[in-house]
Amino acid sequence: MSVSASIFILILLAGAGFFFGRQRSLALVSGKLATLHSLPNQYGWYVGILMLLPGILVILLWIVFSGNIIDTMVIASLPDHAGPATEQARALLLNDIHNTAAGAPHSGSSEIYIQEAAQRYSRLKSQGVNIVSALVALFAVIGGLAGFRTIRPDLRARTHVERVILILLILSSVVAIFATLGIVLSLIVESARFFARVPLAEFFFGLQWSPQTALREDQVGSSGSFGAIPLFAGTLLISFIAMCVAVPLGLMSAIYMTQYSRKNVRKVVKPLLEILAGIPTVVYGFFAALTVAPFIRESGGLLGLDVASESALAAGLVMGIMIIPLMSSLSDDALTAVPEAMRDGSLALGATRSETIKQVLIPAALPGIVGAFLLSVSRAVGETMIVVMAAGLAANLTANPLEAVTTITAQIVALLTGDQEFDSAKTLSAFALGLALFGATLLLNMLALSIVRKYRESYE
Partner 1 sequence: MEKTPKMQATNVHVYYGDNHAINKVSLDVFAEDVTALIGPSGCGKSTFLRCLNRMNDSIASARVEGKITLDQQDIYDPKIDVVQLRARVGMVFQKPNPFPKSIYDNIAYGPRIHGLARNGEEMDEMVITSLQKAGLWEEVKDRLEAPGTALSGGQQQRLCIARAIAVNPEVILMDEPCSALDPIATAKIEELIEDLRGRFAIVIVTHNMQQAARVSQKTAFFHLGEVIEYGDTADIFTNPEKEKTKDYITGRYG
Contact footprint for partner 1 (CB under 8 A): 262-263, 339, 341-352, 355, 359-360, 363-364, 458
Shortest gap between Cβ of 355 and partner 1 (angstroms)?
5
Query: Are the C-beta atoms of 313 and 236 separated by less than 8 Å?
Result: no
Shortest gap between Cβ of 262 and partner 1 (angstroms)?
7
> How would you write 297-332 as a 3-class SS string?
HHHHHHCCCCCCCCCHHHHHHHHHHHHHHHHHHHHH
Nearer to partner 1, 168 or 348 (CB): 348
Shortest gap between Cβ of 373 and partner 1 (angstroms)?
19
> Residues 410, 411, 414, CA angle at the centre, nearest 5°?
90
Nearer to partner 1, 83 or 345 (CB): 345
Shortest gap between Cβ of 363 and partner 1 (angstroms)?
7
Nearer to partner 1, 32 or 358 (CB): 358
Residue 113 burial class via C-beta count within 10 angstroms: exposed 0-12, middle 13-18, buried 19 and up: middle
The number of CA neighbours under 13 Å toward the Cβ of 222 is 11
Q: Rounded to a whole number, what is the distance in angstroms from the first to the last CA of the chain?
A: 62
Nearer to partner 1, 313 or 452 (CB): 452
Nearer to partner 1, 149 or 267 (CB): 267
Nearer to partner 1, 153 or 339 (CB): 339
Shortest gap between Cβ of 352 and partner 1 (angstroms)?
5
Shortest gap between Cβ of 60 and partner 1 (angstroms)?
55
Nearer to partner 1, 226 or 455 (CB): 455
| Closest alpha carbon to 367 in 424, 428, 450, 437 | 450
Shortest gap between Cβ of 364 and partner 1 (angstroms)?
5
Nearer to partner 1, 278 or 350 (CB): 350
Across 300-314, b (16+ Cβ under 10 Å) vs e yields beeeeeebbebbbbb
User: Rounded to whole angstroms, what are the CA distances from 399 to 37, 319, 369, 383, 403?
Assistant: 74, 18, 27, 20, 8
Shortest gap between Cβ of 442 and partner 1 (angstroms)?
30
Nearer to partner 1, 435 or 452 (CB): 452
Residue 407 burial class via C-beta count within 10 angstroms: exposed 0-12, middle 13-18, buried 19 and up: buried
Q: Using CA atoms, how far apart are residues 152 and 149, in angstroms rounded to an integer?
A: 8
| Closest alpha carbon to 152 in 29, 273, 51, 15 | 29
Strands (E), 135-269: 209-210, 225-226
Shortest gap between Cβ of 458 and partner 1 (angstroms)?
7
